[in-house]
Chains A and B, each alone.
Chain A
Amino acid sequence: QVQLQESGPGLVKPSETLSLTCTVSNYSITSHYYGGWIRQPPGKGLEWIGSLYHGTPFYSPSLKGRVTMSVDTSKNQFFLSLTSVTAADAALYYCASHDSVSGNIDTWGQGILVTVSS
């Protein structure tokens, strides 16, 4: 069974870049891995950030070009970079995998809480 685990700093300063890593277990990812990121402010709903699917990145337009995702197959990891963070970016960040055929999200990591503060 595929397992996902987020890692990264829990605290980021305003205007800096948030960088998160998702480590995939029990599955060897390729450069066309079907992974994504979703976030959830405490007590609120789910917001999709972006996904890589069949080698193509899809990003939320609401994040206005601040998002980049990438993959390192040698480490079985994929990454999220979110630039110019503000307090509005504070949330629980989840990495997830998509089904390669139907496209739906099928597996989630446990999440990592990110605070934005100076």
Chain B
Amino acid sequence: EIVMTQSPATLSVSPGERATLSCRASESISSNLAWFQQKPGQAPRLLIYDASTRPTGISARFSGRGSGTEFTLTISSLQSEDFAVYFCQQYKNWRPLTFGGGTKVEIK
């Protein structure tokens, strides 16, 4: 099983600042990584896939980088609607698909 480790668990950021979230895979997953945003009471929403590709409709404030085992999600100039929990997920190995434990981005 590929273990996905996210850090930090909680990130306190002021509105307008930049946030950088990390996700590490226990073995190489190439670029088969997705990032999701989840707000309270809502289903997760896809932000990034293939490590760096934004789906249509996702703000350019969100950017993803990395390959192999180290990945980052950067949110530039945090807006009020960006305070949420963020999960990474690998889909390189489907036996099983695995998620990181999540990073909560909270208002500082």
Contacts and interface: CB of A to CB of B under 8 A. Distances in A.
A109 B89 CA distance: 17
A99 B102 contact: no
Task: Give the secondary structure class of B's interface.
Answer: loop
Given A59-B96, A105-B46, A105-B89, 14 more contacts: A46-B99, A48-B96, A48-B99, A58-B95, A61-B1, A61-B95, A94-B44, A98-B91, A99-B49, A104-B32, A104-B46, A104-B49, A106-B49, A109-B43
Given A103-B91, A104-B50, A104-B91, A62 B55 contact: no
A65 interface: no
A103 B45 contact: no
Interface in A41-67: 45-48, 51, 53, 58-62
Contact of A108 (B45, B49, B96): B45
Nearest to B44: A108
Interface string A89-104: 0000010001100111
Interface of A: 36, 45-48, 51, 53, 58-62, 94, 98-99, 102-111
Given A105-B34, A106-B55, A111 B102 contact: no
B107 interface: no
Contacts of A111: 43
Residue of B36, B95, B97, B99 with highest tally of chain A CB at under 10 A = B97
B68 interface: no
Contacts of A105: 34, 36, 46, 89, 91
